[in-house]
Structure 1
Amino acid sequence: MSSENLPQNTEQQGRRPRVAVVFGGRSSEHAISVVTAGAVLRSIDRSKYEVLPIGITPEGRWALTADAPSRMAIADRKLPSVAELAESEDGAVVLPVDPASREVLYTEPGAVPKALGEVDVVFPVLHGPYGEDGTLQGLLELSGIPYVGSGVLSSAVGQDKEYMKLVFTAFGLPVGPYLTIRPREWAVDGGAAAQERILEFAGEHGWPLFIKPARAGSSIGITKVDDISGLAAAVKEAQRHDPKIIVEALLRGREIEVGVLEFEDGPRASAPAEIPPVSSHDFYDFDAKYIDSASGIVPAPLTPEQTAEVQRLAIEAFDAASCEGLVRADFFLTEDGTFVINEINTMPGFTPISMYPRMWQESGIAYPELVDRLIQAALRRSTGLR
């Protein structure tokens, strides 16, 4: 069944389209996903949509949770979790892997499964592996349930920094110097050959280097390394989050971000933002973003020509990875005036302080309208090949 027919069908059934907001997850970005979900739940127009909040615990259990946005925020530097919101310690939500039925079930040990009703669209506000990387998108494709955001391949490309850079390079987008170290390379001979490759890379591009997990976000697990003495510890920290790591050279310049949003006539770019240096942090890491609430400048102080250029590149990146729905594209404006793309996020931070909604607010689209546009874009699409 095409999702384009869903709004009409739900009206015929005498109900509003039902949106399942899925959040939490197994990645190290679990807490930020909960915060994002709280903001989305707070902003969904309840007169237009029915809402079903579903949290995924760090262990991977799908739980029916309280619809309680006020409990889904960072308070006194304490991060929220799905476990604190779950209606039951044992109950589990089950999605149908059957395109003919979108009936979601709730099960508890020793009890008859309870039907929660059909889901018309899923809003997956998960960040990182097991949610933003194409795995959840694949499950939803099998279930025949439309969802907000990019499909399986685009989500996977957006999560894996190595393949993201390969795709961008193939499409002629400017990418900075990088090196990929796979887990078996670091395991052989104590990582001697891999370390030698990194030292050769440093000899060519200079210190400092950034050591990153290849498939993580929110600057988690990233270390800025000033010389060889910190290399082993940095690799160990990155591999706590992902056995594959990326080594990147320092690009000297300004950090610029652009939001891309899918409209009825195609993707459009937002007003850009600039992330200024944070004096209390080496770089714009997790604590700077979410704990200390370091803020970017919106709109970025760019010339009209620079703004047009970075917006053009953001849409090109969106199209290169065949993205859908939304993307935040991150760039460096180097000292010679060239824009270099760092990465895209197919489900960017969506908290009230996150740059993506702030950039669209500056562009004339407030948070509730942004949420609504994303849901409507998902309802217009069918699952499967498109």
Structure 2
Amino acid sequence: MKTLLFILYGGKSVEHEISLKTALTVIPSIDPRKFDVYPIYITPEGVWCSHGKLSSVPAEIKDLVLLPSFGQAASSLGDIMTRFFSLAGNKVVLPLLHGSNGEDGTIQGLLELIDVPYVGNGVLSSAVALDKAVSKELLSHAGIPQVEYRNFQYAQWTLNAEEVSRSINENIGYPCYVKPASLGSSIGISRCENEEELRDAMATAFRYDRKIVVEKEVAGREIQVAVMGNEQPLVSVPGEFIQDKSFFDYNAKYVDGRLTMSIPADIPEHLADRIQRTAKLAYQTLQCAGLARVDFFIDPQERLYLNEINTLPGFTKFSMYPVMWEKTDGTTYSELIEKLIDYAFMRHLEKQSIQYSR
């Protein structure tokens, strides 16, 4: 009997478009002999929509955009729960929701409440990893090296911008990066070379979040690894994007299409081993499950700094995560999706042993 696979995409997030691009790559890769696919589109306003079981593979983004309607199409979360999540058979959810209201533990909490297996990280790890300010503090306590950083709240900036600027000048310096604490895909991030640029960058970042992170720039290379698994995760060979910019903004990642991957990254074996061990430690420190991409900086003296952990790395044609696994052990795109689904079922089964009564 086929497994019912519910794929969530879109979402009330500034990363809505990235989610659509991910879904457009993932859905055609699903083996129809093993899965009945139920695409569920969440509009930018947060409305859940589905036409039920997939009847034809989407060829372009517009095929994924479902509009709220009445009749055969489900046009609310309650409607989808009643019509589709109540169907008999094995079920699993594949959330492809990047950023707010999807990668931050909110969807994961809903799926925990209705007791349905789902791919990827749980409530705690999703929320913690997306919040750079919190994750940096936890990783620091675990002894994982990171670049010099400071976290600031919106109220701090509005009440005393001069004091915040002075703290950044004295403790971080320039160049530095200003980032919204809880976003990905380089949205809202700015590189600053002076205090005037810093003020503009703070205004930009605070449009997307009430909390920001300011980090010192590392002159060096950015290396990534893919991690997969639950309590005993596997780590891929390191990969690297060949840079022609000071940093990868949104256009460089998703629009220009000029990124060049180097997998495995051209680094010494001892450094690759250190990256893999540190990535595994970081993954376990944040109690990740299913998958994550871990990003590092390496300076010319081979000093290693963890940049961030992405608990829902992109699966677009420009994305590093699936390619790193293919280069590591030959895992194809379709096989990777199925492995992640298997980890979801394993984690859900293990949780069934938890006792909820005395």
Same fold (TM over 0.5): yes
Distance 1:167 1:126, change over 3 A: same
**Distance in structure 2 (CA, Å) of the matches to 1:48 and 1:312:** 35
Secondary structure of 1:69's partner? coil
SS in 1 for 2:81: strand
1:105 is paired with a residue of what secondary structure? helix
Q: In structure 2, what is the equivalent of residue 282 of structure 1?
A: 246
Structure 2 residue aligned with 1:250, among 212, 217, 221?
217
Q: How many angstroms apart in 1 are the aligned matches of 2:69 and 2:195?
A: 47
1:41 paired residue number: 27
Tell me the TM-score normalised to structure 1 length.
Answer: 0.84
The equivalent position to 1:347 in structure 2, one of 309, 312, 336, is 312
Q: 2:60 aligns with which of 67, 71, 94?
A: 71
- For normalisation by structure 2, the TM-score amounts to 0.90
Distance 1:95 1:145 in 2: 15
Q: Deviations over 1:323-372 (max 9, x none)?
A: 00001000011221121100000110111220001101111111000000
Is 1:152–2:116 an aligned residue pair? no
Shift of 1:320: 0.7
What one-letter code is carried by the residue in structure 1 that aligns with 2:4? R
CA distance in 2, matches of 1:260, 1:325: 8
Q: Distance in 1 between matches of 2:253 and 2:158?
A: 33
Paired residue secondary structure (1:51): strand
Pairs aligned (count) = 343
Letter in structure 1 aligned against 2:27: L
Tell me the CA shift for residue 295 of structure 1.
Answer: 2.7
Selected match of 2:170 from 197, 200, 219: 200
Q: How far does the alpha carbon of each residue in 1:146-181 deviate from its partner, in whole angstroms, 9 at most, with x for none?
A: 110011110011100011111111111111100111
- Is 1:27 paired with 2:13? yes
Q: Distance in 2 between matches of 1:385 and 1:162?
A: 34
Task: Please give the alpha-carbon distance, in whole angstroms, between the structure 1 residues aligned to 2:353 and 2:279.
Answer: 24
For residues 303 and 143 of structure 1, do their structure 2 counterparts lie closer, same or farther at Cα, with a shift above 3 Å needed?
same
Distance 1:170 1:180 in 2: 16
> How far is the alpha carbon of 1:379 from its aligned partner?
1.3
Say if 2:183 is the partner of 1:216.
yes
Distance in 2 (CA, whole Å) between partners of 1:133 and 1:245 is: 16
Q: Tell me the equivalent position of 2:201.
A: 234
Structure 1 contact 34–81 (Cα < 8 Å) conserved: no
Q: Which residue does the alignment assign to 2:239?
A: 273
Alignment check: 8 A CA contact 1:155 1:346 kept: yes
Partner SS for 1:70: coil
Which residue of 369, 372, 378 corresponds with 2:335? Answer: 369
Structure 2 CA distance for aligned equivalents of residues 385 and 157 of structure 1: 25
Moved more, 51-60 or 191-200: 191-200
Secondary structure of 2:288's counterpart equals: coil
- 1:288 is paired with a residue whose SS is helix
In structure 2, give the amino acid aligned to 1:216.
L
1:68 positional shift: 4.0
1:334 aligns with 2:317: no
**8 A contact 2:131–2:181 mirrored in 1:** yes
Report deviation, 1:232.
1.6
Q: Structure 2: how far apart are the matches of 1:183 and 1:87?
A: 36
Matches within 5 A, 1:93-104: 93-94=76-77, 104=81
Report if the CA contact (8 A) 1:39-1:350 is conserved.
Answer: yes
Matched, 1:183 2:149: no
Task: Decide whether the 8 Å contact of 1:95 with 1:143 is kept in 2.
Answer: no
Q: Cα distance, 1:87 vs. partner?
A: 5.0
CA offsets 1:234-259 (integer angstroms, 9 cap, x no match): 11111111121110000111100000
Moved more, 364-373 or 231-240: 231-240
Contact 2:41 / 2:66 at 8 angstroms: preserved in 1?
yes
In structure 1, list runs of 5 or more residues that go unmatched: 1-14, 73-79, 97-102, 107-113
Mapped partners of 2:32, 2:85: distance in 1: 21
1:167-225 deviations in whole A, cap 9, x for unaligned?
Answer: 11111111110011101101214x232222222224xxx31110110100011110001
Structure 1 position 301, deviation (Å): 0.5
